[in-house]
Chains A and B, each alone.
Chain A
Amino acid sequence: MDMEPILDVKQLTMDFGGLRALDSVDLDVSQGEIVALIGPNGAGKTTFFNCITGIYDPTGGDIMITAPKNGRTQRINGIKPNLVTEKGLARTFQNIRLFQNMTVLENVMIGCHCRMKAGILGAVLRGISTRREEEAVIQKSYSILKKIGLEKYVNEFAKNLPYGAQRRLEIARAMATEPFMLLLDEPAAGMNPQETRELDELIVKICETEGISILLIEHDMKLVMSLSDRIFVMDYGKKIAQGTPAEIRKNPAVIKAYLGEEIDA
């Protein structure tokens, strides 16, 4: 890649007591790319996401981001999750973490929070600018829901949504934070083939029409192979391979790690 990466992770290491969950992992994503991170269960993929999004403070290494908007490069090791999101990296969770007792619309509105201004005084006085902001946020949230195809659930409580729709709502909520990059942790887990196909289209659409780059963790090899520009493979906290889907499919180390599992599609 000759383009400068928007996410450049170097030698990322994470220890939990004696357990080295991540061992000098390198990974990079360029503007407009869809990159997949795969590996057997317990390989450290979710931990990798948690380090990047500020939930864990990594033991070693560098996480550099370059916002496409202004081209400034920053090191974001150990900063608070909300600041990571403000800087333009938004994520979804492997085990769905929606605000169950809020409506679908409200969930997306929460995503808009960090792009809004109204403070305590604004809330109490509810002047013209606050009212405008609230109105604009409702409209923006609705248009995001429309893009994701959830508009028919807009006033439902999140907990009442079918499983597949909940996963999509997580994506909608993350998009509301206006990210330049989305990190999706097993977005297709638990989906049926029809839902997975729709998700495939959705991710491509987000990447192409919204210009949001994607880093995703996924076990569904068919989805991974069809979506990704590049794939990184992890096992036991180490990166064991990287390359295009065609290269990965032939890679002996990957085949060994997945011994018994099929990597076809």
Chain B
Amino acid sequence: MLVNELKKSFLISLWFMFLTFPIMVIRVNTVENIIQWRWANLFFVGIGSFVLSALWRYLIRRKEQGIKKTEVDGVARVTLSQRLLRERRFTIPALIVIAIVALAFPFVFSLYQTNIMITALIYVLLGLGLNIVVGVAGLLDLGYAAFYLVGAYSYALLNYHFGFGFWTVLGLGAGMAALFGIILGFPVLRLRGDYLAIVTLGFGEIIRLIMENWNEFSFGPSGIANIPRPGFFGVEMNFEQVTVYVYFLMIALSLFTIFVVNRLQNSRIGRAWIALREDEVACQAMGIDKRKTKLMAFALGATWAGFAGVVFAAKTTFINPASFTLWESINILCVVVLGGMGSIVGVIVGAFILILLPEYLRFLSEYRILAFGTVLVLMMVFRPGGIVETVRRTYQYEEADH
């Protein structure tokens, strides 16, 4: 068995040496018109690919054995993260520690760090919102950044034209995003899976392109500058104070989001979403209005993107369509998928990792996106359920003492 595996790795390394031969070994020196043969590189490629391929095979085998074991045992494997989440002894102290860190953060760390943290919290909002659509209701939405855009532009434009303040627009922006959620929802009601993904992707791009080209309305690619930061009963604040203020505002908004999303998931509507994800036909046959349920998922998901957009515009004081590309939608989707679809804790963890990891990988300079991509691929191979695999709280019946 082992010999066989090693033989396969050996063949792969031979194949790699052959493939990379022209670029790794031969070098044409055009100045002196000679060819340099760098045989040492061949050796390194061979060793490197052999070790990596052997490691890969080993990890895959281990994973397969794990799966086989759960199949034989018949009991689902409870992961460490799931166990920790269930254990009250662990969760309560953890929550206290998180609360203290969250409260102290802007006073202990630099302004720069606080700003990164605000961005991460914005992604928590975005992730939790998209999680309703993708994770719970199972509707793959690749145009989610459009709702984020709607929120941001709602604030920027309403403020520019009518002087509306941050707090007024926070609600309005969310409402606008919800409205756009419904507008998108209607035409895609019949679509599922890949088709839905493609249409939502198109929708997201259309909204962005309109903003980019409709100069009279949105000021085109040059965007809108000088958007006021959020106010606090007219109190004058310097830049640092505002940042801390926005930070706590985001903490509050995140808590609010977690509260609402949690309640929604564990309700009649949340159940209907999960059932819709499981089987649309059966869902309808059980008396659930597919149209209404889907539209609710789109609207309620978009609402949080609206909130996040308003805060984003207020935080950066400048927005243009370039912030809301397909890449942004994919980023938010990564938050949900990486964290663990359908799991609130998972999405929060995913948001922090996805925003903080590239920040702290900066020392890798231009390789950081490559490193990040590698991490994502490895994650999906070895932990396809996400970092925190769904521990959906199921309804349990306990015999009551009557």
Residues of A near any B CB (own CB < 8 A)? 53-55, 80-82, 85-86, 90-91, 93, 97-103, 105-106, 109-111, 113-116, 118-120, 122-124, 126, 130, 133-134, 138, 141-142, 154-155, 173-174, 176-177
Residues of B near any A CB (own CB < 8 A)? 260, 263-264, 267-272, 274-275, 278-279, 281-290, 296, 300, 394-397
Least CB distance, A120 to chain B, in whole angstroms: 6
Chain A-chain B contacts (Cβ-Cβ < 8 Å), number: 122
Given contacts A97-B279, A102-B278, A155-B397, contact A113 B288 (CB under 8 A): yes
Cα separation A105 to B296 with both chains bound (whole Å): 24
**Cross-chain contact A91 with B395 (CB below 8 angstroms):** no
Least CB distance, A21 to chain B, in whole angstroms: 18
Cα separation A156 to B194 with both chains bound (whole Å): 31
Residues of B within 8 A of A134 (CB): 267-268
Cα separation A86 to B289 with both chains bound (whole Å): 10
A110 contact from B263, B264, B271, Cβ within 8 A: B271
Cα separation A116 to B288 with both chains bound (whole Å): 11
Residues of A within 8 A of B269 (CB): 118-120, 123
**Cross-chain contact A110 with B395 (CB below 8 angstroms):** no
B300 contact from A80, A82, A115, A120, Cβ within 8 A: A120
Cα separation A91 to B375 with both chains bound (whole Å): 47
Least CB distance, A146 to chain B, in whole angstroms: 11
Least CB distance, A126 to chain B, in whole angstroms: 6
**Cross-chain contact A99 with B290 (CB below 8 angstroms):** no
Q: B263 — nearest CB in chain A belongs to which residue?
A: A124
**Cross-chain contact B395 with A138 (CB below 8 angstroms):** yes
Cα separation A101 to B394 with both chains bound (whole Å): 10
Cα separation A119 to B268 with both chains bound (whole Å): 8
Given contacts A82-B289, A123-B267, contact A102 B275 (CB under 8 A): yes
**Cross-chain contact A120 with B296 (CB below 8 angstroms):** yes
Residues of B within 8 A of A115 (CB): 287
**Cross-chain contact B267 with A82 (CB below 8 angstroms):** no
**Cross-chain contact B395 with A103 (CB below 8 angstroms):** yes
Q: A130 — nearest CB in chain B belongs to which residue?
A: B267
Q: B266 — nearest CB in chain A belongs to which residue?
A: A123
Cα separation A115 to B284 with both chains bound (whole Å): 14
Cα separation A32 to B287 with both chains bound (whole Å): 23
Least CB distance, B47 to chain A, in whole angstroms: 45
Given contacts A118-B267, A123-B263, contact A85 B272 (CB under 8 A): no
Cα separation A105 to B285 with both chains bound (whole Å): 18
Cα separation A116 to B271 with both chains bound (whole Å): 12
What are 21 pairs between A and B in contact, CB < 8 Å? A54-B284, A81-B281, A85-B284, A90-B286, A93-B285, A98-B279, A101-B274, A103-B396, A105-B396, A110-B272, A113-B275, A114-B286, A114-B288, A120-B264, A123-B263, A123-B267, A134-B267, A138-B397, A141-B397, A154-B397, A174-B286
Cα separation A154 to B394 with both chains bound (whole Å): 11
Residues of A within 8 A of B281 (CB): 55, 81, 93, 97
**Cross-chain contact B396 with A126 (CB below 8 angstroms):** no
A82 contact from B274, B278, B287, B296, Cβ within 8 A: B287
Q: B267 — nearest CB in chain A belongs to which residue?
A: A123
Least CB distance, B290 to chain A, in whole angstroms: 7
Cα separation A92 to B274 with both chains bound (whole Å): 19
Least CB distance, B255 to chain A, in whole angstroms: 14
**Cross-chain contact A53 with B285 (CB below 8 angstroms):** yes
Residues of B within 8 A of A106 (CB): 271, 274, 394-395
Residues of B within 8 A of A174 (CB): 286
Given contacts A82-B287, A82-B290, A109-B395, contact A98 B282 (CB under 8 A): yes
User: What 6 pairs between A and B have smallest CB-CB spacing?
Assistant: A114-B287, A123-B267, A85-B287, A97-B282, A99-B278, A81-B284
**Cross-chain contact A85 with B268 (CB below 8 angstroms):** no
A142 contact from B260, B263, B279, B397, Cβ within 8 A: B397
Q: Which of A86, A98, A109, A124 neighbours the largest number of chain B CB atoms within 10 Å of its CB?
A: A124
**Cross-chain contact A155 with B270 (CB below 8 angstroms):** no
**Cross-chain contact A99 with B397 (CB below 8 angstroms):** no
Residues of A within 8 A of B394 (CB): 102-103, 105-106, 155
Given contacts A102-B394, A118-B268, contact A91 B285 (CB under 8 A): yes
Least CB distance, B395 to chain A, in whole angstroms: 5
Residues of A within 8 A of B263 (CB): 123-124, 126
Given contacts A124-B264, A126-B263, A138-B397, contact A109 B285 (CB under 8 A): no
Given contacts A53-B285, A81-B285, contact A102 B397 (CB under 8 A): no
Least CB distance, A5 to chain B, in whole angstroms: 22
